[in-house]
Amino acid sequence: MTPAAPLIDPFARPIRYLRVSVTDRCDFRCAYCMVEDMQFLPKRDLLTLEELDRLSSAFIALGVRKLRVTGGEPLVRKGILTYFRAMSRHLVSGALEELTLTTNGSQLARFAADLAACGVRRVNVSLDTLEPAKFAAITRRGDLAQVLDGVRAAQAAGIRVKINAVALKGFNEDELFHLIDWCGGEGHDLTFIEVMPMGEMAEATRLGQYWPLADLRARLAERFGLTDLPDSTGGPARYVRLQETGQRIGFITPLTHQFCESCNRVRVTCTGELFMCLGQEDRADLRAPLRASTDDAALVAAIRAAIARKPRGHDFDYSRARVAGQVSRMMSHTGG
């Protein structure tokens, strides 16, 4: 069989990275991600696990080599291991180079061994603070000890853990070096992320949360020598090495430094919407062609038509004491 022509966007960027949200539900209510009284989607609107398999497999046939499973919290989706086991066949065939996920860690203790058996070798765990009371406050219901148990279970299963910490002004500024020391001691990479203007939240709230990573990096440079690295894990992070400890620290800066020029990724929601850019509202409906026929021709045509509309980049902006480039959907809807 002749391989399908790969997905190339209008700016000659090959699409090799797919992020798939398997649910909008989460057992946390992180203050920068969703409102406390979230109204989740009716289950009938979500793609079935079989549909998620078929859709993901179509992207893999078109050249996607990295698949990241997201949510909400992906591990609260009932029967989610069925999907991971289905995707593992693409690792075995060599069509897929990496299968991974982003998680809040709450369910990792239950699932780590099974995920490792499915070929998951690396996970991102969202963790913004190491203080139990602050953790409970920012997540509105999370248990830090449960998350740390999950991190340890992942390590025991042979899964490498990267910690993702959202930089929040007035919340975890005082934990910068604590987080670095803890990650260094546990052997975790650490990436800091600027809070993004997504969801129907007050502009004053977003501005109050925003801690530019340029400021964070400057604080790091007061204590450590920083060496810029060319490393890439396929995502938007830029990395430095701390000369004194050898640790690798990542920065995801959608506001102070756009990383769009090398963007090779798209996102599919749990309802089958394809977002070609995290910071734009344009989307394509893949659920309709997916359900219209058991043949993938219409689905593949819809994917190609959507990639042809992928923009050069987004325009998030917190300068001039206002929020610009805001999108109305919650981060949990898009899947990170």
**Six-digit token string for 41:** 């989607």
Question: If you write DSSP's letter for every residue of 16-40 in order, what string do you get?
Answer: -EEEEE--S--S---TTTS-TT--P
Tell whether 199 is in a known binding site: no
Residues 6+ apart with CB under 8 A from 74: 21, 22, 23, 80, 101, 102, 103
332 is in an annotated binding site: no
Residue 68 counted as an annotated binding residue = yes
176, 237, 104, 186: CA torsion to nearest 10: -60
Q: Is 126 annotated as a binding residue?
A: yes
Tokens at 29, concatenated:
């209510």
Q: Quote the CA–CA distance of 330 and 103 in Å, as a whole number.
A: 16
Q: Known binder of ligand: residue 118? A: no
The answer to the question of whether 263 is labelled as a binding residue is yes
Is 238 labelled a binding residue? Answer: no
Tell me the C-alpha distance between 110 and 164, whole Å. Answer: 21
Burial bucket for residue 55 (CB in 10 Å: 0-12, 13-18, 19+): buried
Instruction: Tell me if 277 is assigned to a ligand binding site.
Output: yes
DSSP notation for 39-70: -PPPGGGSPPHHHHHHHHHHHHHTT--EEEEE
**Would you say 183 is a known binding-site residue?**
no
**Residue 261 · residue 9 · CB < 8 Å:** no
Q: Is 266 within any annotated ligand binding site?
A: yes
26 marked as part of a ligand binding site: yes
Side-chain-side CA neighbours of residue 306 (13 Å): 25
CB count in 10 Å sphere of residue 171:
20
Binding residues for [4Fe-4S] cluster: 26, 30, 33, 260, 263, 277
Binding residues for GTP: 19, 68, 102, 162, 265-267
Binding residues: 19, 26, 30, 32-33, 68, 72, 102, 126, 162, 196, 260, 263, 265-267, 277
Binding residues for S-adenosyl-L-methionine: 32, 72, 126, 196
